[in-house]
Chain A
Amino acid sequence: MKKILLSLLVIVSLFVTNWAAAAADLEVNTPAITALKASMQARHGQLSPFYGAGAVGLTKDGMIAVKDAAAVPLSQRGSLSGLVSAENADRSNLYKEIATANSHPEWQSEIQSTFAGRWIDKAQAGWFYQSGGGWVKK
Chain B
Amino acid sequence: MKKSVIALSAGAAAILTACVTINIYFPAAAAEKAADKIIDEVWQLKQGQEGADKSGSKPDAKPEIKPDAKPSPEAPAAAPAK
Stretch at the interface among A12-20, A68-76, A77-85, A128-136: A12-20
Number of interface residues of A (CB under 8 A): 31
CA distance A111 to B36 in the complex (A): 12
CA distance A33 to B42 in the complex (A): 11
Q: How many A-B residue pairs have CB under 8 A?
A: 78
Do A5 and B8 contact each other (CB < 8 Å), given the known contacts A24-B30, A26-B33, A122-B43?
yes
**What are 16 A-B pairs at a CB distance below 8 A?**
A1-B5, A8-B9, A8-B12, A12-B19, A15-B16, A22-B23, A25-B33, A26-B33, A37-B38, A41-B44, A98-B34, A111-B35, A114-B31, A118-B36, A122-B36, A122-B39
- B interface vs A, CB < 8 Å? 1, 4-5, 8-9, 12, 15-16, 19, 22-24, 26-28, 30-45
Ordered nearest first, which 5 A-B pairs have the shortest CB separation? A118-B35, A26-B34, A114-B31, A110-B26, A40-B42
